[in-house]
Structure 1
Amino acid sequence: MTIVIDEVAICHRNKIISVSFSPDGRQLASGSGDATVRLWDLNTQTPLHICRGHKDSVICVAWSPDGKHLVSGGKAGEIFSWDPQTGKQLGRPLAAHKGWISSISWEPVHLNAPCRHFVSVGEDGDARIWDVVLRKCVICLSGHRAGVTCVKWGGDGNIYTGSKDGTIKVWETSQGKLIRELKGHGNRINSLSLSTDYVLRTGAFDHTSKQYSSAEEMKKVALERYNKMKGSGPELLVSGSDDWTMFLWEPSVGKLPKTRMTGHQQLVMQACFSPDGRWIASASCDKSVKLWNGTTGKFIATFRGHVRDVYQISWSADSRLLLSGSADSTLKVWDVRSQKLKEDLPGHSDCVFATDWSPDGEKAASGGADGVLKLWMG
């Protein structure tokens, strides 16, 4: 991969905490400690819009799977909705959380099109389902005994929340009732990933970048893609924790884990399924990235090369390459088939906090403590 951007043109005034490509891969959003969200033109590699309104750091940014909405959650507890085409703020901030927003996940487009619902979780221990059209919270999911760190809205309609209390809760979304609690971790949950994450994120969009004229067509295509990806079995969920372990779950089937995955010697910062669901990759403060079988959870390989904590990982669309970002200021690209380092990507001057690989597979982005956003081409 090669660096293609002008560093001077793309600096935030503070650390970059989150980066995310749009579902069709045409736009990129970044959230920063400078309290702004920036939308980038991927053709010119320049800022398209600077979105102001947050009072403090922007912790997370999330695109709706139909690409029509971008929402951002901040340290001050508010959520903003932005028009991705103009960068303009849509309505008032959504304020109900009593602590910072940790994570946001949208309702899959194959369940509801056009997209209008998303779920946010925060330090106050609550999960809230929002209607972006009505601009209000429609359901509050309460029950965790500590802050909620991560959330996923699954393809079967259930919501999964992971918390500092060490538990994962499974919720139905029509009334917000708790379906079951998944216990096993001995410390906070840092990461949740579903085996269907890639198709849930991209909805009806694929590598052809086809655009759709109606929500109905988009919903139909998204459902076909989801069913093909899911197959006959249930969605799988992997969780990563401060207790150095991961668990593989079948959360729609029962509350017992399918397997416990051990081997890391420090906190597991992130665990995520490959787009094809065949693999799970994990990033840890033990300076390593590990590869696991996505169906059984069996250990496959350890990727070593970073010299400090590994914070985040992102998969290429074809599930062949893995990008890792570290406190050592570098990114590394790993080849899954050869299980070796493919590219060493220096360039940041400080910790790399955020990475993402575009759904079309053509580019990757990284951001970190130096406030610089870098775009890398495959």
Structure 2
Amino acid sequence: TLATLCADGLLRFWEVHTRSNVGAVSASANAYIGALDFSPDGSLLAFSDARPGWITISNLATGTSFTTNTYTSRVTALRFSPDATLLVSRDWDDTPIGQRGKGTIKLWEIHADRLTLKHVLSHTGWGVSTVAFSPDGRRLISTSVDQTLKLWDVKSGRLLHTQKSPVGNPNAALFLPDGNTIAVANFDSTITLWDVTNEPWRERAVLQDNGATWGLALSPDGTELASGQANGGEVKLWSLTSPSERNDWLPFPTNAFAWFFSTDARRILLALTNQTIDLWDSATLTKAATVAWPETNTRSFALHSDGNTIASGSANATVTLWRLNSGVLSKERSFSVGGQRVFVVLFSPDGKTVAASAGWPGSQGGPITLCDAARGEKLVQLPDVHTYHMRFSPDGTHLVSLSWDGNVKLWEVATGRCVWTGKHEQTAVDGAFFPDGRRIVTGAWDTKARLWDAASGRELTTLPVGSSVAVSPDGRRVAIGGGVDAVKLYMFGATHQPLEVATLVSRANGVEAVAFLPDGQTLVARCREGFQIWRAPSFGELAANEKMENGK
């Protein structure tokens, strides 16, 4: 159950799983409700109203309550400690804007019929906007409209750390269940996840909301984060998982000249100028193997999802299949695909077919050649030239080609027939099928991503951002990067209209490729200087754009 207090003085209760209003009671005769909080076990409810300094504690089990006058100004934030023995409050600082005021935070010990003062914490600034306990109750986070966040020791009342917000005023903050991550709602319509393990704090992720978020709440089991907007009455739920201690950044070695994802994105292949290749695990960014590479004219690679089969394309229009066994690389077969150098080589999802294209610009180019991986026999040639990239459909029956001239073409693999042709204004560089194969998203150097109906080729929508694209395994999320230092995450509904739900900031310039791992909870980006991964909750919005307003 979720509780919300509104300016009409009503306390409303919501059933989270059904998104329905299950009741409302009058919390105050005053028109303004300042703050409220449930105790962790749900037995106590604390709230304040428009009267200066009044805090009411209601015992929901016994139906009893008491009220304490604690301030000379209005109380606008309340939080119970995890064990419900303490209550933290902060008041509305009436200092005029432009003058430095003194935001007052008070820690109270809770008794059966009264509150007693434990500490007064001074957060000098233009007013404290929120306060929250850590999961173990030992620390307290406070935010202020002077654009600072402060971490306090609860036992002593000592200030532990002050962090300057890089995006303006923080409106709300709370700890995530791990105790080392703080979610901060910002005035610029973002929610920042801070890692507070070390100083200075590190940004783990930035979630993109639709408007300024003024309230945050964590579900009792710690798996969902709720954010509420001041304008529009929208409440969003974000799916949370415990932050991982695994690496999230793999810088490129100085001698790396090419890098590729495996078919399922579980592995990364780095080709090095010292005639070796490195294989890395995408989920952990740890090295799995280093293998000597026997060829000197290799220009492109493809890594099968089994992690042991490699296809290489050479400068003499030859594709070679290799098998890696216990760190030893052996050649299985080679076949010519026509044209000049092999620019792109690709495995089908089942690994039975290899696609290769000699589509280098300014050359004669060459067709896309489909070959049987087991026998090396040519199956069909697709009369496309200057192909920049290509992707198989999930069932392997179709292939989309993306060309230097901006063309997007869908091909029937069995017959080589071109089903339809679409067009970008500049070079089309990436594409991805939705899991059901019914839609395709493509990106181009014109920094526009386009969504296509796979059956008809009809353009469904255009997004004014990005060239690299990826679709999550459940088909609910589309990641778009390219040319900027961030990845935009969108959700698509049945209407095909995208909703931007997160901006994932990269450590390095230029996101050149993105891929979801099969778990759907991990996103990998290839940047100009390395690989970066993000894990939920940085992009795991559970219920996008769902309104909980007036019971609707």
The reply to whether residue 289 of structure 1 matches residue 531 of structure 2 is no
Task: For residues 326-369 of structure 1, give each alpha carbon's deviation from its aligned partner in whole angstroms, at most 9, with x where no partner exists.
Answer: 33557353610369xxxxxxxxxxxxxxxxxxxxxxxxxxxxxx
Conserved 8 A contact 1:40-1:49: no
What is the Cα deviation at residue 298 of structure 1?
0.7
Distance 1:139 1:125, change over 3 A: same
What is the Cα deviation at residue 132 of structure 1?
2.5
Which is higher, the Rg of structure 1 or of structure 2?
2
In 2: Cα distance, 1:69 partner to 1:329 partner: 24
Conserved 8 A contact 2:264-2:517: no
Task: For residues 2-25 of structure 1, give each alpha carbon's deviation from its aligned partner in whole angstroms, at most 9, with x where no partner exists.
Answer: 349999xxx978314224357695
Counterpart residue number, 2:439: 236
In 2: Cα distance, 1:62 partner to 1:284 partner: 23
The reply to whether residue 298 of structure 1 matches residue 498 of structure 2 is yes
TM, length-normalised to structure 2 = 0.45
Distance 1:120 1:22, change over 3 A: closer
The reply to whether residue 195 of structure 1 matches residue 434 of structure 2 is yes
Task: For residues 262-315 of structure 1, give each alpha carbon's deviation from its aligned partner in whole angstroms, at most 9, with x where no partner exists.
Answer: 1x2xxx341110122111101121322111124525141333454621222232
In 2: Cα distance, 1:321 partner to 1:69 partner: 24
Partner of residue 415 from structure 2, selected from 152, 159, 175: 175
Distance 1:51 1:171, change over 3 A: same
Correspondence list, 1:45-194, <5 A: 45=287, 47=289, 49-56=291-298, 58-63=299-304, 69-75=309-315, 77-85=317-325, 86-91=328-333, 93-109=334-350, 115-123=351-359, 124-144=365-385, 147-154=386-393, 155=395, 157-183=397-423, 185-194=424-433
> Which residue identity lines up with residue 368 of structure 2 in the other structure?
A
More displaced stretch, 170-179 vs 238-247: 170-179
Q: Match of 1:258, SS?
A: strand
Partner of residue 318 from structure 1, selected from 519, 523, 534: 519
Task: For residues 81-121 of structure 1, give each alpha carbon's deviation from its aligned partner in whole angstroms, at most 9, with x where no partner exists.
Answer: 00132410113x32334333333333343xxxxx4322112
Query: Aligned residues, how many?
Result: 283
Correspondence list, 1:215-294, <5 A: 230=436, 234-251=437-454, 253-262=455-464, 264=465, 268-294=466-492
More displaced stretch, 167-176 vs 29-38: 29-38
> Which residue identity lines up with residue 239 of structure 1 in the other structure?
T
Conserved 8 A contact 2:279-2:287: no
> Which residue identity lines up with residue 120 of structure 1 in the other structure?
A
Task: For residues 21-75 of structure 1, give each alpha carbon's deviation from its aligned partner in whole angstroms, at most 9, with x where no partner exists.
Answer: 57695x7643345555455799x9463532312414x433231x56673212245
In 2: Cα distance, 1:12 partner to 1:106 partner: 26
Q: Match of 2:371, SS?
A: strand
In 2: Cα distance, 1:169 partner to 1:66 partner: 28
Distance 1:258 1:39, change over 3 A: same
More displaced stretch, 15-24 vs 116-125: 15-24
Counterpart residue number, 1:308: 509
Q: Match of 2:255, SS?
A: coil
- Structure 2 unaligned segments of length 5 or more: list them: 1-244, 360-364, 543-552
In 2: Cα distance, 1:305 partner to 1:40 partner: 20
Conserved 8 A contact 1:77-1:96: yes
Q: Match of 1:89, SS?
A: strand
What is the Cα deviation at residue 249 of structure 1?
1.1
Conserved 8 A contact 1:72-1:80: yes
Distance 1:19 1:164, change over 3 A: closer
> Which residue identity lines up with residue 61 of structure 1 in the other structure?
A
Task: For residues 153-212 of structure 1, give each alpha carbon's deviation from its aligned partner in whole angstroms, at most 9, with x where no partner exists.
Answer: 2126112111011111122222312222123x111111011112xxxxxxxxxxxxxxxx
Distance 1:319 1:168, change over 3 A: same
What is the Cα deviation at residue 247 of structure 1?
0.7
In 2: Cα distance, 1:6 partner to 1:235 partner: 34
More displaced stretch, 168-177 vs 12-21: 12-21
Conserved 8 A contact 1:122-1:149: no
Which one has a larger percent helix, Structure 1 or Structure 2?
1
In 2: Cα distance, 1:166 partner to 1:116 partner: 29
Q: Match of 2:332, SS?
A: coil
In 2: Cα distance, 1:327 partner to 1:6 partner: 11
Conserved 8 A contact 1:31-1:59: no
Conserved 8 A contact 2:265-2:515: no
Query: Higher relative contact order at CA 8 Å, sep ≥6: structure 1 or structure 2?
Result: 1
In 1: Cα distance, 2:250 partner to 2:461 partner: 45
- Structure 1 unaligned segments of length 5 or more: list them: 110-114, 197-229, 340-378
More displaced stretch, 15-24 vs 234-243: 15-24
> Which residue identity lines up with residue 470 of structure 2 in the other structure?
C
More displaced stretch, 187-196 vs 320-329: 320-329
In 2: Cα distance, 1:166 partner to 1:6 partner: 31
The reply to whether residue 333 of structure 1 matches residue 333 of structure 2 is no
More displaced stretch, 168-177 vs 99-108: 99-108
> Which residue identity lines up with residue 459 of structure 2 in the other structure?
P
> Which residue identity lines up with residue 298 of structure 1 in the other structure?
P
> Which residue identity lines up with residue 2 of structure 1 in the other structure?
R
Which one has a larger percent strand, Structure 1 or Structure 2?
2
Conserved 8 A contact 2:352-2:374: yes
> Which residue identity lines up with residue 247 of structure 1 in the other structure?
R
In 2: Cα distance, 1:4 partner to 1:309 partner: 17
